[in-house]
Structure 1
Amino acid sequence: MLVRDYMTHDLVTVEPESRLSDALKTMRTHNIHRLPVIEDNLLIGIVSEKDLLYALPSADRPISWVEASAQAAALPVRQIMQQDLVTVGPDCPVELAAATMADHKIGALPVVSPPESRTLVGIITETDIFRLFIEMLGSRAPGVRASLEIDNRKGALASLFNRIVEAGGGVTTVSSFPATSPHRLRIILKVADVNQDTMRRLLKSEETVIDLREIQGSRSTSSSSPVGA
């Protein structure tokens, strides 16, 4: 999965000489929290709702709040926009884009193409990453959700999959995570066409249940099993 598959293509942008008050109005009209700043068709900065709100005066400034608010609202976006940008290309893997956001503690990445240019083609945000996370875990799909710890060895996962298929089920999603021990692996499966009891019977003694429940749509319909059940 690449950034191009999850980024927003239809962008709302702002010019550097636009007033802060107009930029904030644009954000609220479109229910967005960031605006790329474009000049001569090139990306030169980005401004966030937080940037705009911080630019408004606080009550302890020496001039009146009303006067300061009017002055701040009339400032151009250029004066408060973030110019030291971290960008990503459309062919970047989504997980690398997510790692870049986490490393830089930012909530969005402008997408430029080619990567070394400032030609804006999209933007990918933390909300897009959350959407991908939901899809990867099959959160909205019905079935049995099994959170397990298994041996971290060749064939362990294949063996479990074969037992599920032989019972008439099918694995619709799978995600793996490190366990406390390097010899173990934590996995989350979403399995269709078997029920919770059948799934439990399919597990071997070395496959530890962390959580096991049946899901209908995006809501749980049974209580989770205790750790080690």
Structure 2
Amino acid sequence: MLVEEIMKTEVISLPPTASIAAAQLLLEENKIRHIPIVDDQQAVVGIVSDRDVRDATPSIFQADADRHELENEIQSIMSHPVVTIHPLDFVEDIARIFFDEEFAALPVVQNNKLVGMVTEKDMLYTLIQLTGTHVQSSHIELKVPHRPGILPEVTAIFGKRKTNIVSVLVYPFKDDPSFKILVFRIQTMNPAPVIRDLREAGYELMWPNNVMGSQS
């Protein structure tokens, strides 16, 4: 999946000379948490979060607070330089950036111009789609040998039952490189026949456990 498939293209931005008050108003009115700061050519020169604006806003509990601070230019509090991504980047790759850098939003840039925005909420929703949890389905986990050809062997069992596979995930089994875990979501509310077939084929089920799925 590519970034262009999940990014928001209607992005609210501000020039670096805009006031902090203007950013505060946009954040509140549009219920957003980040505003990219762009120059006259729509190149990203900074980014401002709702937290940046809150930190720059005088406390209402301070009698002598200087409200004129909100008239300062947004470039005085923006973060820069900015890590950006491209519309043709893979979602899996930028997920690593979100995790490693602990970002909450990333501007999407093409030809040095702002074209979109991806937030951590967008990433979470994409994960929900990739794992198939957004549709009604049954969950099956198998521990299998880590060898070529194992995935088509297992999916052939689903095929014999004409069971639709919603999603497949593969991840390591603890610290043992000789095994891996296959996670399936299948579109049936009665997975018992498939589970029985998998057990009869000699596969070890991590979920459901040995009690569940034993009925025909």
TM-score above 0.5, yes or no: yes
Partner of 2:79: 82
Partner of 2:171: 177
Partner of 1:21: 21
Partner of 1:187: 182
Residues 1:55 and 2:28 aligned together: no
Residues 1:138 and 2:132 aligned together: yes
Runs in 1 of length 4+ with deviation above 3 angstroms? 225-229
TM-score of the two chains, using structure 2 as the length reference: 0.87
Q: More deviation in 190-199 or 134-143?
A: 190-199
Map 1:140-179 → 2, pairs under 5 A: 140-179=134-173
Partner of 1:102: 99
What is the one-letter code of the residue matched to 2:86? G
Partner of 1:221: none
Query: Structure 1 70/121 Cα, relative in aligned 2: closer, same or farther at 3 Å?
Result: same
Deviations 1:187-216 (A, max 9, x none): 22111246131132021375332333xxxx
Q: Which residue of 99, 102, 115 corresponds with 1:121?
A: 115
Please give the root-mean-square deviation of Cα atoms over the aligned residues, in Å.
2.3
Partner of 1:222: none
Contact 2:36–2:44 (CA<8 Å) still a contact in 1? yes
Contact 1:148–1:210 (CA<8 Å) still a contact in 2? yes
Query: Structure 1 144/127 Cα, relative in aligned 2: closer, same or farther at 3 Å?
Result: same
- CA drift of 1:69 comes to 5.2
Deviations 1:123-163 (A, max 9, x none): 11111111110111111212211122222112222121111
Secondary structure at the residue paired with 1:200?
helix
Contact 1:111–1:123 (CA<8 Å) still a contact in 2? yes
Secondary structure at the residue paired with 2:199?
coil
- Provide the C-alpha distance between the structure 2 equivalents of 1:200 and 1:69, rounded to a whole number of angstroms: 68
Q: Which residue of 204, 207, 210 corresponds with 2:203?
A: 207
Contact 2:20–2:70 (CA<8 Å) still a contact in 1? yes
Contact 1:147–1:211 (CA<8 Å) still a contact in 2? yes
Q: More deviation in 155-164 or 193-202?
A: 193-202
